[in-house]
Amino acid sequence: MFPDIDTPAVLIDLDVAERNIRHFQDYCTEHGLALRPHIKTHKLPRLAHLQMAAGAVGVNCQKLGEAEVMADAGLEDILITYNILGPMKLARLKALADRVPRLAVTADNPVVVDGLAETFAGAERPLTVRVECDTGARRCGVATADEALALARRIDAAPGLAFGGLLTYPAPGGVHAVRAFFQDARKRFDAAGLDIPVLSSGGSPDMWRAHEAGEVTEYRAGTYVYNDRSLIAAGACHPADCALTVLSTVVSTPGRSRVIVDAGSKVLTTDLFGQTGYGMVAGRPEFEVTAVSEEHGHLMAGAGTARPRVGERLRIIPNHACVVSNMVDHVVLVRGDKVVATEPVAARGRVT
């Protein structure tokens, strides 16, 4: 299995990724939703361009550093869904705005809005700022439509800023909470005479239900491009839809049933993401990665199960594809059994 690739290696099957891109783009188009893919999953300009070519309205980044990589690669519509603050980041954001035709960020508090307002006070083009709303995920976001309106007014009143709409990252299963929040906001904003240009939701686990949150006009999803074990568990895809796998080699078969592979937390990560264990073996559902240390993954061969031999290779579907992309400097692009190219993960490790 891929004898020319040393292990562990992160493989991306382009046939599968392209199919995933088309599939969800078709869904969004059919339901009148603008699709804005989150590039954190792949961190690859090549795939961002494929997503744009398929019909995406722009890309979503989580960090300024990711957006800089995407801008370098020629992406022209970038949303950074993060509270950007502090003089160093604000200076970088200003420089980025000068070279990205359509750049937007989010904010959920006045400190962040005021920092953006000060930075863009004399700007040629106003910076688009969306208000992040908490619809149940309990991470960032204003808690009520009233708070959203207050923050939107603050943005609207700042000469260098333009209010760009509302945005939420919902809790799993939170489709109806999103609808309720946005409906409430729509009423209050209408009464206040403030237009909401975009109502944006996101998340891959519930992506095939995106149309049920009636108010939503834009959907942000990342993992759909690769899929992973968590999305199989969520019923959002099948194992054959998983474009990202970790090629690993059995390095030891100690004791009666242990199978030790060379993919540990340094590739698979320790992200459980709601699963038990750290990954499943593609084509051999009887094997789960039950434990990891940094450079070792543990599998158990149950009674009656043929135990893989030392030197044998296994492809592991990780719990969470996005975090695996961030662990390696390069991924290997394949189509079925054929190696296409080795691709640098250009936006890997951009933590600021």
Binding stretches for a second copy (CB under 8 A): 6-9, 40, 62-63, 82-83, 85-86, 88-89, 108-109, 111-112, 134, 138-143, 249, 251-255, 258, 260, 265-267, 269-272, 293-296, 298, 309-311, 322-323, 326-329, 349, 351-352
State which residue, 294 or 337, has the beta carbon closest to a second copy.
294
Least separation in angstroms between CB 21 and a second copy: 21
| Start-to-end CA span in the chain (Å) | 38
State which residue, 6 or 146, has the beta carbon closest to a second copy.
6
State which residue, 175 or 268, has the beta carbon closest to a second copy.
268
Q: Which residue's structure tokens are 């054929």?
A: 338
- DSSP states of 139-160: SSSBSSHHHHHHHHHHHHHSTT
Strand ranges, E, within the chain? 9-13, 34-37, 59-61, 77-83, 102-107, 127-133, 161-168, 199-202, 218-221, 244-252, 258-261, 279-281, 284-292, 297-300, 313-318, 330-335, 338-344
State which residue, 29 or 293, has the beta carbon closest to a second copy.
293
Least separation in angstroms between CB 240 and a second copy: 26
Cα–Cα distances (Å) from 175 to 132, 145, 210, 266, in that order, read 16, 17, 7, 34
State which residue, 2 or 208, has the beta carbon closest to a second copy.
2
**Strand pairing partners for 341?**
333
Least separation in angstroms between CB 260 and a second copy: 6
Least separation in angstroms between CB 271 and a second copy: 5
Task: Decide: 297 and 288 in contact? Cβ < 8 Å.
Answer: no
Least separation in angstroms between CB 137 and a second copy: 9
State which residue, 8 or 37, has the beta carbon closest to a second copy.
8
Least separation in angstroms between CB 294 and a second copy: 7
**Cis bond upstream, residue 45 (ω within 30):** no
